[in-house]
Structure 1
C-alpha cells in the first residue's frame, strides 16, 4: 500500500530499548502486535470486566472482545487513511492490558488504595505491563516493543504534561516525547476505543434490558440508525434489529472520523509523522457535531447503564473486594505467593510493597480476584 507521507514508517522506527535483529518476514509493528497477542496479560483480558462482570453472561463484552473490536475499527480507519495498519492494530490490542479486574470499579478501588503511593492509572499500568511485568524473554523484562508502540500507549489520552510516576520513571530511561501528540496511528486507536465502547455498550445495554429501543429513539445518531434499521428489516426479531442498528451506528461514527481527520490533515499539511506530533491539536477527531452527539450518548449510558441499580450493586461489591484484597496483602506481605512476596519485600507499608501488591491485583482476572478474596477471608476455603 502507498502510505501517506504523515504515516509512521517501519523503516524509520526509533527502534527498541534493547536492540534486536529485525524479523525477516514481519515489520517491527507486526512483531509488536504478535508479541502483544501472545502475552499473558492479553489472554487474561478474556476474563476481565468491560461493563458486566464475567459471570453475568457469556454474550456480554469482556476486555478481550472489546480490544478485538477496537482493533478492527482502528485497522479499518488506518487503511482508509493510508496509515500503518499494523501499528494501529497493535496499539488497539494493547491499550487495556493494564486494566485491573472488575473494570472501572476495580480501578477506582486500586486508585484510592494507591493514593498515598502515587496513585494507579490503567494506561500507565499498560506501559508497565509491556515494559516490565511480562516475563517471556531471557534477555529483558517486558516485551521490548518499538518506541512508536510505547509512545502510543503512554499517550493514549494525549500529551502528558504531568505523567504518572511509572511513566515518568520509564521516560527517563527511554524518552517518549511525552509533551507532544502521539502518531496519527495512535490517535486512530484512541478514537476507535471510543467508537467501540459507545456502540457495544448500547448493544449490551439493550441485551441486558437496562433500556429498550423506545428509550434510544431520541438519541442523536442512534435514533436515525434505529429508524433506518427498522425500514430495512421489517418484521425481524429484536436481536436482529439491535445488530442492524449498532452496525449503522459504528459506520456513521467511523465515517465521521475519517472525514474530519482528512479535513484536519489537509489544513495542517504535514510533511511527515513528526509534524503530526508537533501539531497544536490532534488530527484524528470527530467533527464538532459528532463530538456533541457522542457526549449525549455517553450521558445516556451513564444514566441508564453505568449507574443502573444492578450495576451499582455489582460495582459496590467489586470495589469492596478489590480494596480488601489490597489492604490484606499490603498489610500482610507474607500472604502473597512466594514470587510476589520476594518482589514486594517483607516490610508492610512500603512504596515498593504497595506497587507490587497493585501489580499483583491488577493482573488478576475477575474470577481469580473473587477466589483469592475467598481464600484470604473464608477459613473454610483452603489457601
Structure 2
C-alpha cells in the first residue's frame, strides 16, 4: 500500500539527512508515528479530562487512553480499506494534542479570552503543536510528512463566521499552505476522514461505557424523551422523536445490549465490554461496506471519500446524547465546569499581565520574540493549553492567591 503514496505525500517541510546505515529500516510514516508516541504533548494527555477528570476514578478514560482507543479503531479501519494504517493511527494519536486543561470546557474559555488574537480551537492548536511547539526539528516541530500532517487536520480551513470549528491560526498559515498542496478546497483527505470517524465511534461508545460504570447511566431504564432533547440540542437539531425511537430500537436489538442494570460484577463488566466491542464493529463494518459500495478506490488521500451511512450517524448520536444528558449535564458536573472556566480565565489574565516571569522557559522565549500584544496573547494561550488539569490548578493556586 505504500506505493499508493507519492513523493509529495512523503515530503517533510525540512529535508532530513539519510538515517544511519545501522538504524532500523522504517517507512516515513512509521517514523511519523514514532515521533508522536515519544512527544511530550502525547504524555500530557494522560492528565487531561476526557469526560470526567482523570483523578475522579481509576477506570474512566483520560485524553491519552481515549486517543489510544481512537488509534486502534482508525488503524483497523484504514487497513481494511487498503490505505496506510500508520498515517491514520498517527492522526488519531495526535487528534487531541491541542486540547487544553478540562477538555472542551477549557477550550471554550480560551476561545473567548483569545478572541483578540484569532481565537482558540483545539484542532488548530494541534497543528501548531505538530509544526511549531513540539521540539524535534527547529522551525518545523515534529517535521511530519505532508500526508500525515494532512491526516491530522480535522477542519482544514481558517477561522470564519460559518462554524466555530477551524484547523489553523493565521500565523500558522504558511505551513498549512505547504501541507495542503494537492488538496481540493476544504475537503478532508481520506485518512483524516478515517481519524474523524474513529473519534466519533470511540467516544460515542466509550463515554457511555464510562457513564455506566460510574452508575450515572443505566441502559435499561433511561428516559428516551429527555435524551432526545439533548440529542437535538447537541448533535442533530432536525431529528424527530420517531426517528430517534426507531434508532434506539435498532441498538436495543444488538444481541449484547444489556437486559439488566450494571452491578459492578465481573460478569456485568464483561457484558459491557462485549457491547462496546459489538457496537464498534457494527459502526466500522457499516462504513466499510458503504465506502466499498460507493467507489472502487484506491482509498488514499483524495482518490476517494469515506461513506458513513445515515443510520450509523443516528446510532452514534443517540449514544453520545445518552452520555451528554446523564454525565456532562449532571448538576455536579455543571458546577465543576463553571469553576474550571473561572480558573482558566483568571490564569490567562495573570499570565498576560506578568509575562515571561510567569511562563515556562520556551514560552518566555516566544514572548520575547513576539511582535505585538496579539502575538503575546497567543503565547499565553500556548502556555495554558500545554498544562494538564492538575498543573493548571497548581499554577493558578500559586499565581492567583
- Which stretch shows the higher mean deviation, 245-254 or 93-102? 245-254
Q: Give the whole-Å Cα distance in 2 for the aligned partners of 1:108 and 1:27.
A: 38
In structure 2, do the counterparts of structure 1 residues 339 and 188 end up closer, same or farther at CA, with 3 Å as the change threshold? closer
Aligned position for 1:45: 45
Structure 1 residue 195 corresponds to structure 2 residue 201: yes
Q: Is the 8 A contact 2:94 2:152 kept in 1?
A: yes
Q: Give the whole-Å Cα distance in 2 for the aligned partners of 1:221 and 1:343.
A: 53
Shift, 1:161, TM fit: 8.6
**SS of residue in 2 equivalent to 1:285:** coil
Shift, 1:271, TM fit: 9.1
Q: Give the whole-Å Cα distance in 1 for the aligned partners of 2:57 and 2:294.
A: 42
Aligned position for 1:65: 65
Q: Give the whole-Å Cα distance in 1 for the aligned partners of 2:369 and 2:158.
A: 34
Q: Is the 8 A contact 1:222 1:245 kept in 2?
A: no
Q: Give the whole-Å Cα distance in 2 for the aligned partners of 1:307 and 1:119.
A: 25
- Which stretch shows the higher mean deviation, 329-338 or 315-324? 329-338
Q: Is the 8 A contact 1:66 1:196 kept in 2?
A: yes
**SS of residue in 2 equivalent to 1:260:** helix
Shift, 1:319, TM fit: 1.1
TM-score calculated relative to the size of structure 1: 0.85
Q: Give the whole-Å Cα distance in 2 for the aligned partners of 1:113 and 1:336.
A: 18
Shift, 1:296, TM fit: 2.5
Aligned position for 1:280: none
In structure 2, do the counterparts of structure 1 residues 221 and 247 end up closer, same or farther at CA, with 3 Å as the change threshold? farther
What whole-Å deviation, never above 9, does each CA across 1:222-245 have from its counterpart, x for those lacking one?
A: 4233655659xxx97332222222
Aligned position for 1:124: 124
Shift, 1:101, TM fit: 0.9
Structure 1 segment 139-150 matched on structure 2, within 5 A = 139-150=138-149
**SS of residue in 2 equivalent to 1:332:** helix
Of residues 218, 221, 225, the one that matches 2:254 is: 225
Which segments of 5 or more consecutive residues in structure 2 lack a partner in the other structure?
Answer: 161-167, 225-247
What whole-Å deviation, never above 9, does each CA across 1:287-312 have from its counterpart, x for those lacking one?
A: 11111222232333222222111221
What whole-Å deviation, never above 9, does each CA across 1:230-283 have from its counterpart, x for those lacking one?
A: 59xxx97332222222221111111111112112224xx56974333xxxxxx2
Shift, 1:220, TM fit: 5.1
Aligned position for 2:384: 361
Q: Give the whole-Å Cα distance in 1 for the aligned partners of 2:278 and 2:178.
A: 45
Of residues 208, 211, 215, the one that matches 1:209 is: 215
Count residues in correspondence: 362
Aligned position for 2:338: 316
**SS of residue in 1 equivalent to 2:90:** helix
Q: Give the whole-Å Cα distance in 2 for the aligned partners of 1:366 and 1:161.
A: 26
Q: Is the 8 A contact 2:109 2:341 kept in 1?
A: yes
Which segments of 5 or more consecutive residues in structure 1 lack a partner in the other structure?
Answer: 277-282, 379-383
What whole-Å deviation, never above 9, does each CA across 1:155-184 have from its counterpart, x for those lacking one?
A: x14666955424434334655447242332
In structure 2, do the counterparts of structure 1 residues 56 and 222 end up closer, same or farther at CA, with 3 Å as the change threshold? farther
Q: Give the whole-Å Cα distance in 1 for the aligned partners of 2:344 and 2:174.
A: 26
Shift, 1:206, TM fit: 0.6
Of residues 262, 282, 290, the one that matches 1:252 is: 282
TM-score calculated relative to the size of structure 2: 0.82
Q: Is the 8 A contact 2:107 2:122 kept in 1?
A: yes
Q: Is the 8 A contact 2:14 2:143 kept in 1?
A: yes
What whole-Å deviation, never above 9, does each CA across 1:31-61 have from its counterpart, x for those lacking one?
A: 0000010010011111111111121112111
